A and B are shown apart, each in its own frame.
Chain A
Amino acid sequence: MRPMDASVPAPQGDLAEIFPELGVLRAHARDGDLEAVLELLEVLRARDVVDHTVAVLVLARAEDPDGTLGQALEEHDDDPTVRVLAAARGLTLGDSTARVTAEASLVRRCAEDPGNPTAWYLRLVAARDARLPAGEALRRHDRLQAAASDHVPGRRVLLECLRPRGGGSWEGVLDAATSASEHAPDGSDAHALLAATYLAAWLAQGPDRSIASLRVPGVIDDIERAATRFAAAPCPSRYGWVAAHTDFAVLLGLAGRRASSAGHFRALGAAVDARTWSSVHEHHADLLTIREFALAEGRRR
């Protein structure tokens, strides 16, 4: 790999480093200050339910080297939000027993508050991880939609549940992603689901996959159209915006639409979505070239 331009920031996939308020939230959690955590989560919930879900995921992945956070969660398990937080950590970091305990806790939360998008989102994650039948994932997504009709992270997980390993098909996933994009308003990060799905289907072809198979003109034109609609209005989700731009930047870059890809890298600045970015680590050299060009170009403007 050639040396990086020192003036270009390294890709940053940690949302708590990208967004200051998420950094503060995580710092409070690591200090075991649950009162401050709950207060900030409420602020985020009031702003946007999807951002609340993303914030809970950041806390779910937060390191807890001295067990301060874990102890605080146990001590305050009479609080429903704390139980959701603990369940999110159980799903993310726990073993199979912890995941079952987490699901039971989420079943309870969904019963107490059927309109809780984050609890339903986490139940979708639980369905995906337990490889429950696609029908059950769809049911949970229906409940999530009833609580928050434009919960794009939830739709992302649903699309994962519909993949062939869950008994579905890539055609079915693409249909669902296309439909989501077609029905989404301009600016919605749902437009990126099409790019995410093509990328996932391509990666699923294994190490022998050919980059040429990504460069089918009709497909890439569809992605470009989706990207145009995404850019046509401000994204309603402050955090979902990162994943959407990363999907477009990576897919269009790999497909040879370097100018389009650069536009998304430029919008991202230092940020990338960690999951998407790491999934294409074999192609980082090429993508970093585009990114450096884009960021350098951005500085010149």
Chain B
Amino acid sequence: MSLVRTEVAGVPAVHLPTTGGTCSGGLVFRVGWADETLAVRGLTHVVGHLALAALPPGEVHHHLDVLANHTVLRADGTFEEVSRFVTEVCATLRDLPAQHLDTEKSVLSAETVHDRPVGGRTQQLRYGARGYGLSAYPELGLSEVDPDLVRLWATETFTRDNVVVWFRGPGSPETIPLPLPDGMRQPLPPVPEPLADTPAFFVSPESDVLLVTAVVPRSAAAVLLAELLDTALDASLRERTGYCTRAGAQYDVRDGEDATVVVRAHCVPGRRAEAVGELVDQLARLRWAPVDSAALTTARTAVLRRRGEVDHVVAAARDLLLSRHPREDGPVEDDERALSAVGSRDVAAAAEAFHASALAQVPEMGLAWAGWHEALLAASGGDAEGVPEVRADRVTVRHGGLTAAVRFDAVSAMVAFDDGGRWLVGEDGTEIRVEPGAQSLAADAVERIDAAVDVARVVHRPARDEDDRPPPPPEVAAAAAAAERPSPLAARLLGRLRPRRPEA
């Protein structure tokens, strides 16, 4: 059966009717982690958890997925159960249960430890410390999330003007009550100009991960490219050579027009150079060697087998929110006819687009030999490399002959430790660490930074153990030994910051 575009209580909806069986349904909101700032990274996730926290336990199987620019709520059960879930979630979003906030934050803090962001530092380099670049960062802002903030965010983004209802199964969802507040459709996260000089790479010797991301136009050919890459890399990097313990590729829709293809491999220590070389050759094969029809058929079959009906409906709902109107068959990527029409030349063209915008993190060797450009990484400094200088509109630090700067009006987040340390992250990804205990700073440096940075961008952290702090230089250590009491500056800072700290 085909997808049906409809409305539920005046809200756009997509419905895949079936003649029987269980029902799946839910809501897709046009908000995700890429809409947050780094200082409140995790806020959407908290709201989503709270929306489900008030549901009676065990009544219906439900699930939450917070993605870059949309959030999916899903339930599986009978038509009545799913309908009730949708209505109850909407009602909860109007009045979030703040009493569950600390519990949910604890749960998410534990989850974030195990989360491995897709795209990693390549996304930081492509987008900075905002928008889609936030995938490179943990849910840093969980500690800052308070009841006021979650209500404000829910009121702003979890509204009837920013949602699409989705349904798969028998029954007519049109009559389901949706007690959501009015609002407005949220603009998509900002996308900066594409990087110049791609394909590009940077070497990250501290990691065994080999990562390549590329932004390509959304297409069935790009879906098959990712599938073919996934198969080829698993076979060539893991199975045949043992260069890697894991290797694969995936296709992620970014917005209405573009998708991100991510290649990720975990290199065996000692085989890192071979893995990099083999990856280049595998990418080249998809660019230059015709893919035979049997491989295309296998890839197409794998994509279609993996794509369930629910994924299909949710993707259609997502596309409505991304201002891309799905056809009757659904989104462009997993349309069976579109996949069947992809030929060898289409895959080669998609591989060419991948190559043209590729950004790679490699553990060794680099890719200059293959003609890739060396990427200019966002500068960082402030540890042993140099002493930060606080100016009227920015903090700067000299590092390796270059000057890194974070402008106060472009701070993505500032981590403020109770021991006086300040870690500033600029929107472009530049990081500067200000450590009064370890650097010979001006006496009022931290005070001036605190006065200049927007409080909404500040993430508070308790004082670190001595072992976690950078060691003081000799002259500072001598002065500290002479003074037994906290400095007046530190006392003033603590007094100012403590009221804003969330309750333990």
Chain B stretch 298-335: residues in CB contact (< 8 A) with chain A: none
Which residue from B270, B287, B369, B371 sits with its C-beta under 8 Å from A111? Answer: B287
Which residues from chain A contact B191 at a C-beta distance below 8 Å? none
- Tell whether B342 is near chain A: CB-to-CB under 8 Å: no
- Rounded to whole angstroms, the CA-CA distance of A81 and B368 in the bound complex is 24
* Known pairs A110-B284, A112-B288; A104 contacts B274 (CB<8 A): no
Chain B stretch 347-389: residues in CB contact (< 8 A) with chain A: 364-365, 368-371
Q: Assess the A108–B277 pair: CB atoms within 8 A.
A: no
Chain B stretch 265-309: residues in CB contact (< 8 A) with chain A: 270-274, 276-278, 280-281, 284-285, 287-289
- Rounded to whole angstroms, the CA-CA distance of A108 and B351 in the bound complex is 13
- Rounded to whole angstroms, the CA-CA distance of A111 and B290 in the bound complex is 10
- Rounded to whole angstroms, the CA-CA distance of A111 and B284 in the bound complex is 6
Q: Assess the A135–B274 pair: CB atoms within 8 A.
A: yes
Q: Assess the A133–B364 pair: CB atoms within 8 A.
A: yes
Question: Could you tell me the distance in whole angstroms from the C-beta of B101 to the nearest C-beta in chain A?
Answer: 51
Q: Assess the B365–A104 pair: CB atoms within 8 A.
A: no
Which residue from B276, B285, B287, B371 sits with its C-beta under 8 Å from A136? Answer: B276
Q: Assess the A111–B285 pair: CB atoms within 8 A.
A: yes
- Closest residue to B285 on the A side, CB-wise? A111
- Tell whether A200 is near chain B: CB-to-CB under 8 Å: no
- Closest residue to B369 on the A side, CB-wise? A130
Question: Could you tell me the distance in whole angstroms from the C-beta of A51 to the nearest C-beta in chain B?
Answer: 26
- Rounded to whole angstroms, the CA-CA distance of A110 and B280 in the bound complex is 11
Q: Assess the B369–A103 pair: CB atoms within 8 A.
A: yes
* Known pairs A111-B284, A111-B289; A135 contacts B371 (CB<8 A): no
Question: Could you tell me the distance in whole angstroms from the C-beta of B286 to the nearest C-beta in chain A?
Answer: 8
- Chain A's interface: helix, strand, loop or mixed, by majority? helix
Which residues from chain A contact B241 at a C-beta distance below 8 Å? 139
- Rounded to whole angstroms, the CA-CA distance of A139 and B289 in the bound complex is 20
- Tell whether A126 is near chain B: CB-to-CB under 8 Å: yes
How many residue pairs link A and B with beta carbons under 8 A? The number is: 57
Q: Assess the B371–A103 pair: CB atoms within 8 A.
A: yes
Which residues from chain A contact B277 at a C-beta distance below 8 Å? 132, 136, 139-140
- Tell whether A107 is near chain B: CB-to-CB under 8 Å: yes
Which residues from chain A contact B270 at a C-beta distance below 8 Å? 135
- Rounded to whole angstroms, the CA-CA distance of A127 and B369 in the bound complex is 8
Question: Could you tell me the distance in whole angstroms from the C-beta of A134 to the nearest C-beta in chain B?
Answer: 8
- Closest residue to B282 on the A side, CB-wise? A111
Q: Please encode chain A, from 182 to 211, with 1 for each CB lying within 8 Å of some chain B CB and 0 for all others.
A: 000000000000000000000000000000
- Rounded to whole angstroms, the CA-CA distance of A108 and B283 in the bound complex is 10
- Tell whether A220 is near chain B: CB-to-CB under 8 Å: no
- Tell whether A138 is near chain B: CB-to-CB under 8 Å: yes
Which residues from chain B contact A92 at a C-beta distance below 8 Å? none
Chain A stretch 96-126: residues in CB contact (< 8 A) with chain B: 100-101, 103-104, 107-108, 110-112, 114, 126
- Rounded to whole angstroms, the CA-CA distance of A114 and B277 in the bound complex is 14
Which residues from chain B contact A112 at a C-beta distance below 8 Å? 288-289
Q: Assess the B271–A135 pair: CB atoms within 8 A.
A: yes
Which residues from chain A contact B284 at a C-beta distance below 8 Å? 107-108, 110-111
Which residues from chain A contact B281 at a C-beta distance below 8 Å? 107, 110-111, 143
Q: Assess the B371–A101 pair: CB atoms within 8 A.
A: yes
Which residues from chain B contact A136 at a C-beta distance below 8 Å? 273-274, 276-277, 365
- Closest residue to B241 on the A side, CB-wise? A139
- Rounded to whole angstroms, the CA-CA distance of A111 and B364 in the bound complex is 22
- Closest residue to B284 on the A side, CB-wise? A111
Chain B stretch 389-405: residues in CB contact (< 8 A) with chain A: none
* Known pairs A108-B284, A111-B287; A139 contacts B278 (CB<8 A): yes
Which residues from chain A contact B272 at a C-beta distance below 8 Å? 135
Question: Could you tell me the distance in whole angstroms from the C-beta of A215 to the nearest C-beta in chain B?
Answer: 38
- Rounded to whole angstroms, the CA-CA distance of A101 and B285 in the bound complex is 17
| 19 CB < 8 A contacts A-B | A100-B370, A103-B369, A107-B280, A108-B288, A110-B281, A110-B284, A112-B288, A114-B285, A126-B369, A127-B369, A130-B369, A132-B365, A133-B365, A135-B274, A136-B277, A136-B365, A139-B241, A139-B277, A140-B277
Supply 8 further A-B pairs (C-beta < 8 A) apart from A132-B365, A136-B365.
Answer: A100-B369, A104-B370, A104-B371, A112-B288, A127-B369, A138-B274, A139-B241, A140-B277
Those 4 A-B pairs whose CB atoms lie nearest each other, nearest first: A111-B284, A133-B273, A111-B288, A135-B273
